[in-house]
């Protein structure tokens, strides 16, 4: 492969990723598929519809990831979720911070991208705040504290994935263990999802199906289309457009940090558009097209200082938390859980805990003031 061919393949991966995420932007805008919304619906309205949509997306993503692993197309060991040791304290605390932040900021990263596309300037403030604090947690003073203090609390884990653990116990090849564990987990989740008869209507479950397909297509783009066994200059295997150097799927918080970094320092020659940046831009574009076609575009801003303060704080907590947790509610909640990574399970548990506690605080505060 020549460098010209490599660059063409890179553009192909970025272009397809942008297109796929633009489709998902339309889905998000039309369906209101949202992590925080799913949790708040259960706590406030007693409705589990959006939660079932989310669980359906997790189940089908895991099933598809297991299938691709069994076919030999990809391997969980090549993902960003395969690192050891397991930094349990960092993951859980980061998840809690992100969960608190996404409630204060009225939605997770993907939700704020969708709202910004419709003209909501509150979301612009959230995304900028989040990007700044995410970048600081990766490379700045908070990052030093994260690495030198929090990451010291870790557990040596020989098998970062449930499928890998099953393979070790049963003496199976990794691909068999991953496929088997994925099928078992997906079956259990699907039984719960479709236990509700009302949810069996296509109008209820299509957002979950569409979201799972997007996660799997991005895994394929990153791990198959974007994989080069031998770089023409370094002669090493490389995953094109990956910021981490490994196979990636949907995730949005770190890409917002990379976008701000590239915007401010692009002329130094080391900044490049990566997969996450293309995915975030695609969601923004797709949601804008949907809002424009629907006629729902309108400007919206802050009317109270207290509201501005909460959104700034929420964005900051999401930025710090997502980096600590190695992903946001999409990066860990969908992409990470599709690999059945133990780290992703810890991070998502933290996100849910943080969101539940903050929503309960908001409910209590509203009742006290009424």
pLDDT in tens, 4-29: 889 999 999 999 999 999 999 999 99
pLDDT in tens, 83-107: 768 888 999 999 999 999 999 999 9
Q: What is the pLDDT of residue 151?
A: 85
Report pTM: 0.94
Q: Residue 321, CB half-sphere, CA atoms under 13 Å: how many?
A: 35
Residue 229, number of CB atoms within 10 A of its CB: 9
Q: Per-residue confidence at 266, pLDDT binned at 50, 70, 90?
A: confident
Q: What is the pLDDT of residue 264?
A: 86
Q: Per-residue confidence at 142, pLDDT binned at 50, 70, 90?
A: confident
């Amino acid at each position: 492969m020549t460098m010209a061919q490599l660059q063409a393949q890179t553009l192909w991966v970025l272009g397809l990723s942008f297109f796929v995420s633009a489709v998902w932007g339309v889905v998000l805008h039309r369906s209101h598929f949202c992590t925080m919304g799913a949790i708040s619906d259960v706590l406030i309205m007693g409705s589990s519809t959006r939660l079932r949509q989310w669980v359906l997306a997790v189940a089908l993503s895991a099933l598809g990831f297991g299938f691709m692993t069994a076919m030999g197309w990809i391997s969980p060991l090549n993902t960003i979720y395969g690192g050891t040791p397991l930094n349990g304290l960092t993951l859980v605390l980061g998840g809690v911070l992100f969960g608190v932040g996404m409630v204060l900021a009225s939605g997770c990263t993907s939700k704020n991208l969708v709202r910004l596309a419709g003209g909501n300037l509150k979301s612009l403030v959230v995304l900028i705040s989040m990007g700044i604090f995410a970048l600081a947690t990766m490379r700045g003073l908070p990052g030093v504290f994260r690495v030198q203090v929090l990451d010291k609390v870790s557990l040596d884990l020989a098998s970062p994935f449930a499928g890998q653990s099953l393979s070790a116990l049963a003496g199976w090849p990794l691909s068999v263990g991953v496929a088997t564990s994925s099928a078992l987990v997906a079956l259990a989740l699907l039984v719960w999802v479709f236990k509700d008869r009302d949810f069996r209507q296509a109008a209820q479950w299509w957002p979950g199906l569409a979201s799972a397909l997007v996660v799997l297509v991005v895994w394929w783009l990153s791990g198959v289309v974007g994989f080069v066994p031998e770089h023409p200059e370094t002669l090493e295997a490389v995953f094109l457009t990956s910021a981490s150097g490994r196979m990636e799927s949907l995730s949005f918080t770190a890409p917002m940090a990379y976008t701000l970094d590239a915007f401010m320092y692009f002329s130094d020659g080391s900044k490049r558009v990566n997969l996450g940046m293309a995915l975030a831009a695609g969601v923004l574009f797709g949601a804008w097209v949907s809002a424009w076609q629907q006629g729902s575009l309108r400007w919206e801003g802050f009317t109270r200082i207290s509201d501005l303060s909460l959104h700034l704080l929420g964005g900051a907590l999401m930025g710090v938390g997502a980096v600590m947790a190695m992903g946001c509610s999409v990066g860990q909640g969908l992409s990470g859980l599709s690999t059945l990574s133990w780290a992703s399970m810890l991070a998502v548990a933290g996100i849910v805990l943080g969101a539940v506690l903050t929503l309960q605080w908001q409910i209590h505060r509203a009742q006290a003031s009424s």
